[in-house]
């Protein structure tokens, strides 16, 4: 029995952000598949999710200032909240670029990398859920999968980036899609960063 109450609400907040992130990653897939007439609506949906995630992250920081006993170290809570928020921020940024650039039909490489991002965010969501239940093995297994998916995405990024420059491509299209590819790859890196934080927390509290 605990002598002092411990605010478990943090886990609900982490789960909320992880869930928003999976939804945003799936919408990113839809966005890349969509034609130009449908993209604006999907970008707005992603922005709403990103805004909701920002509000939840703000709640985490506010709660840290109010709560005396926390379920995890304060710096770990802050770091995890920040890394999770970074992921959905990047997805939102990619969506905005796609719209602003009038990027046209997506190359197959963008679609396959976006699919890897969905799988990686799902593993991140699994790890967050397992952290609350103190299932260290599940957290670590999910984080291993995140690392594997980041490596898969990195390999795809280099392959498809190279294909952008094959033949005599139109320069403006190369510029547009290179930046979008860069953002997709950075999203996977950031998912791995969040996974590393989860892994560290799980080991610390094993």
- Asked whether residue 83 is assigned to any structural domain, the reply reads yes
- Asked whether residue 44 is assigned to any structural domain, the reply reads yes
DSSP string for 99-119 = HHTT--SPPHHHHHHHHHHHH
- Asked whether residue 78 is assigned to any structural domain, the reply reads yes
- Asked whether residue 148 is assigned to any structural domain, the reply reads yes
- Asked whether residue 67 is assigned to any structural domain, the reply reads yes
- Asked whether residue 58 is assigned to any structural domain, the reply reads yes
CATH number of the domain residue 95 falls in: 1.20.58.220
- Asked whether residue 2 is assigned to any structural domain, the reply reads no
Q: pLDDT tens across 117-156, in order?
A: 999 999 999 999 999 887 778 999 999 999 999 999 999 9
Average pLDDT, 10 consecutive residues per value, the chain (206 residues): 55 95 98 95 98 96 84 91 97 97 95 98 96 84 97 98 93 96 98 96 84
Specify the pTM.
0.94
Domain extent, residue 104, equals: 9-204
Q: Tell me if residue 47 falls in helix, strand or coil.
A: helix
How far is residue 33 from each of residues 90, 166, 181, 200, measured CA to CA in Å? 18, 23, 15, 36
Rounded Cα–Cα distance for residues 10 and 30 (Å): 31
- When divided into structural domains, the chain yields a total of 1
């Amino acid at each position: 029995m605990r002598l002092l109450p411990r605010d478990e609400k943090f886990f609900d907040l982490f789960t909320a952000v992880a869930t928003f992130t999976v939804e945003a990653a799936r919408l990113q897939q839809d966005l890349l598949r969509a034609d130009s007439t449908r993209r604006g609506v999907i970008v707005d949906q992603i922005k709403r999710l990103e805004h909701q995630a920002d509000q939840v992250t703000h709640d985490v920081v506010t709660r840290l200032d109010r709560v005396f006993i926390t379920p995890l170290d304060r710096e770990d809570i802050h770091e995890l909240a920040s890394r999770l928020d970074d992921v959905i921020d990047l997805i939102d940024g990619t969506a905005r670029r796609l719209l602003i650039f009038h990027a046209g039909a997506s190359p197959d490489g963008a679609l396959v990398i976006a699919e890897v991002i969905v799988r990686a965010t799902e593993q991140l969501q699994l790890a967050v859920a397992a952290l609350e239940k103190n299932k260290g093995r599940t957290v670590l297994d999910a984080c291993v999968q995140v690392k594997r998916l980041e490596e898969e995405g990195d390999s795809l990024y280099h392959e498809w980036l190279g294909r952008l420059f094959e033949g005599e491509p139109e320069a403006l299209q190369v510029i547009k899609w290179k930046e979008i590819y860069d953002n997709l790859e950075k999203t996977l890196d950031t998912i791995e960063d969040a996974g590393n934080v989860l892994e560290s927390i799980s080991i610390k509290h094993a």
